[in-house]
């Protein structure tokens, strides 16, 4: 039978272990929180870099990362999920909306875009923010054909006419990459559909969910 001295000899190590476990649990929770905040901060900085390439900061004076809305249009934005639209304004007036749409039919999966459009529907530019296309073939827009994305600047749904918003192989105005037509076809199609979405939603894109 355990004596009171035996019981005491269990209590101290058990309490010590419980204390260590509690300290570790709190420590891990704090670390997870700090890590989460850092990830969010890094993602925001990464998006801001892309936005600033599309629209130079002197051209807007709001914080587009805090002036966003979520929009859902699977047929036009390439995903069932809501996508983020960043609004840029100067003195409260609309300057641009950058929509994070998806080209769902890339060669190796979805290609994530950031499409910046000015009031009236003119393209300010297109950035590819994430993709898994084949190095040396489908990723030509970021090395061999680095200027390819520049082609979009200044275009709109009527320039070129809607039926020519495709790669040359499909009768359109856009060059493909050497030996790789599937990737540019997917990107051109997604940009055109993003413009279509914009055209049907311009007012609401600037208005809804506006910060007070």
Ligand X SMILES: Cc1cc2nc3c(=O)[nH]c(=O)nc-3n(C[C@H](O)[C@H](O)[C@H](O)COP(=O)(O)O)c2cc1C
Q: Which residues bind ligand X (CB under 6 A)?
A: 107-108, 133-134, 137-138, 176, 179-183
Shortest distance, CB of residue 18 to ligand X, whole angstroms? 55
Residue 54 or residue 180: which is nearer to ligand X going by CB? 180
Q: Write out the E strands in 82-158.
A: 83-90, 93-99, 102-103, 111-118, 122-130
**Residue with Cβ nearer ligand X (55 or 188):** 188
Sign of CA dihedral 186, 192, 195, 196: negative
Q: From the CB of 192, what's the least distance to ligand X, in Å?
A: 17
With beta carbons less than 8 A apart as the criterion, state whether 148 and 140 touch: yes
Q: What are phi and psi of 56, to 5 degrees?
A: -65, 135
Q: Which is nearer to ligand X, 60 or 141 (CB)?
A: 141
Enumerate the β-bridge partners of residue 128: 113
96 DSSP 8-state letter? E
**Beta carbon nearer to ligand X, 112 or 133:** 133
Residue nearest to ligand X (CB): 138
- In sequence order, what are the beta bridge partners of 116? 98, 125
Instruction: Give the single-character DSSP code of 133.
Output: P
Report the nearest approach of ligand X to the CB of residue 98 (Å). 25
Minimum CB separation from ligand X for residue 122, in Å? 27
Q: Which residue has the tokens 């809501």?
A: 82
Output 166 or 201, the one with its CB closest to ligand X: 166
8 A C-beta contact, residue 88 and residue 60: yes
Of residues 141 and 165, the one with the C-beta less far from ligand X: 141
Tokens of 75: 């047929």
Q: How far is the CB of 170 from ligand X (least distance, A)?
A: 11
Please give, one letter per residue, the 3-state secondary structure of 9-26: HHHHHHHHHHHHHHHHHH
Q: How far is the CB of 109 from ligand X (least distance, A)?
A: 10
Cα–Cα distance, 65 to 63 (Å, whole number): 5
């Amino acid at each position: 039978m355990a004596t009171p001295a035996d019981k005491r000899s269990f209590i101290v190590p058990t309490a010590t272990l419980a204390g260590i476990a509690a300290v570790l649990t709190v420590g891990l929770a704090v670390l997870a929180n700090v890590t989460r905040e850092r990830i969010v901060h890094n993602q925001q900085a990464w998006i801001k870099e892309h936005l600033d390439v599309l629209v130079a900061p002197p051209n807007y004076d709001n914080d587009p990362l805090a002036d966003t809305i979520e929009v859902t249009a699977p047929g036009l934005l390439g995903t069932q999920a809501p996508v983020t639209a960043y609004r840029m304004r100067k003195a409260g007036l609309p300057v641009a909306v950058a929509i994070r749409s998806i080209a769902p039919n890339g060669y190796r999966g979805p290609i994530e875009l950031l499409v910046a459009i000015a009031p009236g529907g003119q393209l300010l530019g297109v950035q590819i923010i994430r993709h898994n296309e084949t190095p040396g073939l489908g990723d030509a827009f970021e090395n061999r054909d680095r200027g390819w994305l520049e082609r979009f600047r200044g275009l709109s749904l009527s320039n070129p006419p809607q039926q020519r918003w495709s790669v040359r192989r499909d009768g359109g105005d856009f060059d493909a990459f050497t030996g790789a037509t599937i990737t540019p076809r997917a990107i051109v199609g997604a940009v055109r559909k993003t413009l279509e979405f914009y055209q049907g939603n311009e007012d609401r894109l600037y208005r809804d969910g506006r910060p007070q």
